[in-house]
């Protein structure tokens, strides 16, 4: 039988042992505990041991201790105990009750077992696992290459990144070639070579394809290592695809923006409000005629280039933007270093930086051309306004609600208005406008053009104004009807005159008719008594000639001559008054027939005068009353014979076509007529000679004129005294 010294056995163990009464007051602590803590035994007995625990564990242990005692079963508590050197180490306290034969707890006993190593191992395991997690989250893989064996070690994340099987060794360096894009692989192999040969660390952005064939990016860093075990390379690979994509889209965006601003010739600027620093892109310099060397790059330099009259407003707007955070927007003039003046437009937005400072980022562009165009437009508009205002016609322009936009001065005077009507409604200005005109306005607003040559406007007071008007739409830039333009002409005076004229014409026609009636009746009815006078006188002369003395015979001769003259006058007057009253129909007639008839009637006179008559071989057909044409020829040829000169008489007739008319001309070489009588000779009873010089009634040419005019033609004369006369007249040809 082996006798064991339990006491020394227990105290030889690495555990700290203890025992207590049922109340948990320690009455024994093993020497290991005393030497571990370096505390005297009395400090640890009772509940003193609690003070040697880590302050952070004391309350928890106390509570667990009390709970364990109450539970009366085995229990465990983890806590840290201060070592003699002040370090805390983790211990697991185990407690077990000891019971008497009645089953009551009579003592507690237990141990404190150090578990720091165990914890460290656990911590290390935890750390490794959390490192793997961190690597996963950061998409960061690590690798090591051992130089002698070229053996490779990949971290889990690296396997995930390349979609490789983690149960297999990582692919060899040669096999990795197909993972990367050729250009990236080339750069990587070059960097690896330099790292191996020269120990130069590297940092590269490399493109590769993942297992799904998607293009991805990684940031590869690597360096050479060397220790007692050997040498090699190690490094990290971080998936930066998201970053690269974002960067790519950012650079794409900024490239697009650059192209756009360049195309629009927009300069980009940024003004730091605290420092007053102003950053300009090259287009800004182009706009301002500066370059980065001559331009100071501060706010003040910009201000100096602004036109003195515009600086205050630009300052105000900029200050407002910075104070309120609203957008900056200003149009201003600048003067370039070579003295050129330009109109610029500037826009900007306030940006708050990472610190408290603010900056304004914006653009500038040249609006000189636009500005000049606006000026030109404005001046054209002014010109148009002036034109409309002073044009001597009543013009008014309205919007869609028939409100006056513009009107001429004449509009006011024509309608007896005194003040400017701009902005007022047409229907308020003229409350008596008839409904039918409002309908016209609506039609025009739908795009129609309406006009009327004569329209009565009955005013409120009952007076009538006659208007001639035209209303047409005007269109906006987008082609839509913007309103109407009205042109009116007050024709009341003309209209009244017309009415008067009509009345007078009717009156005249009536009196003319009466006169004709009278002339006809007089000439016709006087024939009879005249014939009686003339007949009786003839009888008196033939029967009583022998019984009458010379004086009586002379008187009888006067009576006979007078009666004859009167008869001729009566006949001429009768012919004249019959032109319209008893004219035949105007029809297609050969002009040669009436001419022949006239020549037959004049045969004796022609023979006596020994006249030479030249007539065209062919004479045209005309629209005429044949018998009146005979009278026309007869009068004209008769006059040529009557008013011949000393020279042998020559009468030449010609005819030419003038449009739908024929012009007949009869030229003689007679005494001629002075130009001042050209009009007069066509009037009734107008003669240029006395009866003694040339016989006549002064009716012939008046009759010719009346005949020609009845046919819709014209008659006129050309002549020179002593040389001859040409009478021209026109007659319409048949269609
Ligand atoms: P009358 O011949 O009866 O006087 P007319 O009306 O035929 O009246 O002519 C008016 C006037 O025109 C004539 O008095 C004459 O002076 C002038 N006259 C007309 N025909 C000619 C002519 N061929 N040559 C010159 N004078 C003419």
**What digits encode the pLDDT tens for the residues 611-655?**
999 999 999 999 999 999 999 999 999 999 999 999 999 999 999
What is the whole-number distance in angstroms between the Cα of residue 687 and the centre of ligand 1? 7
**Nearest protein Cα to ligand 1, atom 19:** 639
Residue 525 to residues 412, 518, 530, Cα–Cα distance (Å): 64, 10, 9
The pLDDT of residue 5 is: 64
CA-688 nearest atom, ligand 1: 16
Beta bridge partners of 666: 653, 727
Strand ranges, E, within 150-266: 151-154, 202-209, 215-227, 230-239
Rounded CA gap, 656 and 177, in Å? 110
| Residue among 687, 719, 722, 729 to mutate when testing ligand 1 (max atoms within 8 A of CB) | 687
Q: Which secondary structure element, helix H or strand E, spans residue 729, and what is its range?
A: strand 724-732
CA-698 nearest atom, ligand 1: 8
φ and ψ at residue 496, rounded to 5 degrees: -60, -40
Asked if residue 725 has its Cβ within 6 Å of ligand 1, the reply is: yes
Q: Which secondary structure element, helix H or strand E, spans residue 67, and what is its range?
A: helix 55-71
What is the whole-number distance in angstroms between the Cα of residue 649 and the centre of ligand 1? 16
Task: Express each pLDDT in 443-466 by its tens digit.
Answer: 999 999 999 999 999 988 889 999
Over range 689-697, report the average pLDDT.
90
- pLDDT grade for 559, boundaries at 50, 70 and 90: confident
Asked if residue 697 has its Cβ within 6 Å of ligand 1, the reply is: yes
Residue 71: closest CA among 96, 50, 51, 92:
96
CA-644 nearest atom, ligand 1: 24
Both tokens of 130, joined, read 């959390």
Asked if residue 670 has its Cβ within 6 Å of ligand 1, the reply is: yes
The pLDDT of residue 529 is: 84
The pLDDT of residue 641 is: 97
pLDDT at 29 over 60: yes
Beta bridge partners of 456: 466
Rounded CA gap, 222 and 173, in Å? 14
Residue 208: closest CA among 162, 170, 171:
162
Q: What is the DSSP letter of 675?
A: G
Rounded CA gap, 272 and 242, in Å? 31
Rounded CA gap, 68 and 19, in Å? 15
**Which of 75-79, 507-511, 572-576, 622-626 shows the highest mean pLDDT?**
622-626
Asked if residue 698 has its Cβ within 6 Å of ligand 1, the reply is: yes
Rounded CA gap, 108 and 21, in Å? 6
**Nearest protein Cα to ligand 1, atom 12:** 681
Pairing of strands 661-668, 278-280: unpaired
User: What strand order describes the sheet that includes 404-407?
Assistant: 404-407, 394-399, 481-490, 464-475, 450-458
Rounded CA gap, 424 and 396, in Å? 12
| Residue among 609, 637, 681, 695 to mutate when testing ligand 1 (max atoms within 8 A of CB) | 681
pLDDT at 4 over 70: no
Strand ranges, E, within 34-139: 75-82, 88-99, 105-114
| Residue among 639, 643, 687, 728 to mutate when testing ligand 1 (max atoms within 8 A of CB) | 639
- pLDDT grade for 2, boundaries at 50, 70 and 90: very low
The residue count of the chain comes to 735
> Residue 395 in contact with residue 408, Cβ under 8 Å?
yes
Q: Of 4-13, 21-30, 471-480, 686-695, which gets the smallest average pLDDT?
A: 4-13
* Burial (0-12, 13-18, 19+ Cβ within 10 Å), 561: exposed
Q: How far from each other are the two terminal CA atoms of the chain, in whole angstroms? A: 170
What is the whole-number distance in angstroms between the Cα of residue 694 and the centre of ligand 1? 9
Asked if residue 26 has its Cβ within 6 Å of ligand 1, the reply is: no
Asked if residue 724 has its Cβ within 6 Å of ligand 1, the reply is: no
Asked if residue 141 has its Cβ within 6 Å of ligand 1, the reply is: no
Asked if residue 701 has its Cβ within 6 Å of ligand 1, the reply is: yes
Rounded CA gap, 670 and 436, in Å? 68
φ and ψ at residue 475, rounded to 5 degrees: -115, 150
Rounded CA gap, 548 and 645, in Å? 41
- pLDDT grade for 363, boundaries at 50, 70 and 90: very high
Indicate yes or no: pTM above 0.85. Answer: no
**Which of 214-228, 284-298, 602-616 shows the highest mean pLDDT?**
602-616
| Residue among 645, 695, 701, 727 to mutate when testing ligand 1 (max atoms within 8 A of CB) | 701
Beta bridge partners of 728: 665, 716
Share of the chain above pLDDT 70, in %: 98
Question: What radius of gyration, in Å, describes the C-alpha atoms of the chain?
Answer: 67
Cα 3 to chain centroid, rounded? 117
What is the whole-number distance in angstroms between the Cα of residue 559 and the centre of ligand 1? 26
**Nearest protein Cα to ligand 1, atom 11:** 687
The pLDDT of residue 194 is: 94
Residues 6 or more apart whose CB falls under 8 angstroms from that of 178 comprise none
pLDDT at 1 over 50: no
**DSSP calls for 348-408:** EEEEE-SSS-EEEEEEEEE-HHHHHHHHHHHHHHHHHHHHHHHSSSEEEEEETT-BEEEE-
> Residue 491 in contact with residue 466, Cβ under 8 Å?
yes
Beta bridge partners of 360: 271, 350
Rounded CA gap, 680 and 128, in Å? 138
Beta bridge partners of 279: 270
Q: Which secondary structure element, helix H or strand E, spans residue 470, and what is its range?
A: strand 464-475
Rounded CA gap, 484 and 447, in Å? 9
Coil, strand or helix at 332:
strand
φ and ψ at residue 23, rounded to 5 degrees: -80, -5
Asked if residue 687 has its Cβ within 6 Å of ligand 1, the reply is: yes
Residue 595: closest CA among 574, 571, 616, 573:
616
Over range 41-65, report the average pLDDT.
90
pLDDT at 297 over 70: yes
**Diameter of the chain measured on Cα atoms:** 233
Asked if residue 640 has its Cβ within 6 Å of ligand 1, the reply is: yes
What is the whole-number distance in angstroms between the Cα of residue 701 and the centre of ligand 1? 7
Q: Of 152-161, 193-202, 572-581, 596-605, which gets the smallest average pLDDT?
A: 572-581
| Residue among 643, 675, 723 to mutate when testing ligand 1 (max atoms within 8 A of CB) | 643
**Nearest protein Cα to ligand 1, atom 21:** 639
Rounded CA gap, 285 and 288, in Å? 5
Strand ranges, E, within 5-117: 16-20, 26-29, 75-82, 88-99, 105-114
pLDDT at 563 over 60: yes
Handedness of CA 631, 636, 642, 648 (dihedral sign): negative
CA dihedral of 529, 535, 537, 543, whole degrees rounded to 10: -150
């Amino acid at each position: 039988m082996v006798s064991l010294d339990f006491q020394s056995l227990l105290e030889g163990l690495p555990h700290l042992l203890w025992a207590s009464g049922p109340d948990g007051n320690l009455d024994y602590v093993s020497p290991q505990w005393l030497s571990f803590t370096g505390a005297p035994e009395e400090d640890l007995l009772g509940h003193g041991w609690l003070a040697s625990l880590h302050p952070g564990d004391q309350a928890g242990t106390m509570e667990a201790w009390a709970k364990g005692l109450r539970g009366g079963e085995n229990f465990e508590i983890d806590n840290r105990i201060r070592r003699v050197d002040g370090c805390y180490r983790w211990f697991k306290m185990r407690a077990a009750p000891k019971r008497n034969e009645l089953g009551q707890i009579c003592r507690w006993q237990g141990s404190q077992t150090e578990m720091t190593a165990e914890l460290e191992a656990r911590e290390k395991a935890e750390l490794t696992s959390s490192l793997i997690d961190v690597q996963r989250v950061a998409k960061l893989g690590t690798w090591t290459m051992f130089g002698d064996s070229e053996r490779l070690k990949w971290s889990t994340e690296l396997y995930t990144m390349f979609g490789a099987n983690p149960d297999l060794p990582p692919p060899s360096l040669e096999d990795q070639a197909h993972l990367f894009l050729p250009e990236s692989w080339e750069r990587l192999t070059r960097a690896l070579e330099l790292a191996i040969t020269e120990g130069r660390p590297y940092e590269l952005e490399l493109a590769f394809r993942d297992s799904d064939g998607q293009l991805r990016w990684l940031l590869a860093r690597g360096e050479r290592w060397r220790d007692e075990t050997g040498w090699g390379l190690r490094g990290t690979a971080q998936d930066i695809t998201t970053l690269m994509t974002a960067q790519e889209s950012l650079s794409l965006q900024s490239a697009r923006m650059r192209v756009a601003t360049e195309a629009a010739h927009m300069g980009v600027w940024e003004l730091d409000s605290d420092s007053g620093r102003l950053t300009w892109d090259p287009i800004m310099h182009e706009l301002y005629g500066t370059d980065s060397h001559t331009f100071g790059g501060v706010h003040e330099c910009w201000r100096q280039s602004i036109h003195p009259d515009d600086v205050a407003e630009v300052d105000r707007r900029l200050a407002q933007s910075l104070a309120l955070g609203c957008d900056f927007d200003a149009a201003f003039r600048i003067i370039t270093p070579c003295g050129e003046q330009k109109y610029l437009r500037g826009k900007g937005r306030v940006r708050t930086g990472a610190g408290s400072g603010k900056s304004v980022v914006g653009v500038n562009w040249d609006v000189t051309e636009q500005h000049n165009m606006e000026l030109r437009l404005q001046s054209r508009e002014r010109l148009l306004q002036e034109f409309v205002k002073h044009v001597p016609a009543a013009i008014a322009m309205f919007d869609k609600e028939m409100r006056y936009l513009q009107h001429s001065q004449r509009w006011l005077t024509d309608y007896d208005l005194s003040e400017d009507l701009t902005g007022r409604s047409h229907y308020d200005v003229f409350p008596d406008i008839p409904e039918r005109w409002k309908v016209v306005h609506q039609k025009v607003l739908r795009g129609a053009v309406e006009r009327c040559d004569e329209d009565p406007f009955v005013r409120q007071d009952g007076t009538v104004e006659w208007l001639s008007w035209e209303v047409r739409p005007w269109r906006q830039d987008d082609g839509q009807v913007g309103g109407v333009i009205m042109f009116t002409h007050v024709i009341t005076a003309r209209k009244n005159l017309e009415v008067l004229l009509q009345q007078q014409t009717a009156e005249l026609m009536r009196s003319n008719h009466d006169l004709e009636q009278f002339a006809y009746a007089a000439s016709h009815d006087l024939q009879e008594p005249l014939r009686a006078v003339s007949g009786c006188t003839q009888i008196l002369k033939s029967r009583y000639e022998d019984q009458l003395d010379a004086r009586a015979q002379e008187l009888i001769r006067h009576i006979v001559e007078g009666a004859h003259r009167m008869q001729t006058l009566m006949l001429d007057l009768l012919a004249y008054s019959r032109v319209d009253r008893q004219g035949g129909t105007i029809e297609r007639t050969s002009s040669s027939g009436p001419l022949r008839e006239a020549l037959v009637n004049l045969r004796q006179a022609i023979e006596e005068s020994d006249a030479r008559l030249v007539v065209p071989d062919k004479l045209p057909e005309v629209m005429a009353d044949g018998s009146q044409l005979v009278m026309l020829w007869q009068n004209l040829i008769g006059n040529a014979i009557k008013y011949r000169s000393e020279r042998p008489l020559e009468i030449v007739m010609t005819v030419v076509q003038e449009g739908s008319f024929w012009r007949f001309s009869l030229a003689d070489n007679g005494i001629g007529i002075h130009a001042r009588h050209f009009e007069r000779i066509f009037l009734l009873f107008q003669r240029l000679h006395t009866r003694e010089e040339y016989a006549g009634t002064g009716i012939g040419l008046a009759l010719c004129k009346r005949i020609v005019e009845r046919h819709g033609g014209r008659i006129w004369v050309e002549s020179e005294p002593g040389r001859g006369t040409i009478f021209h007249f026109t007659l319409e040809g048949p269609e």
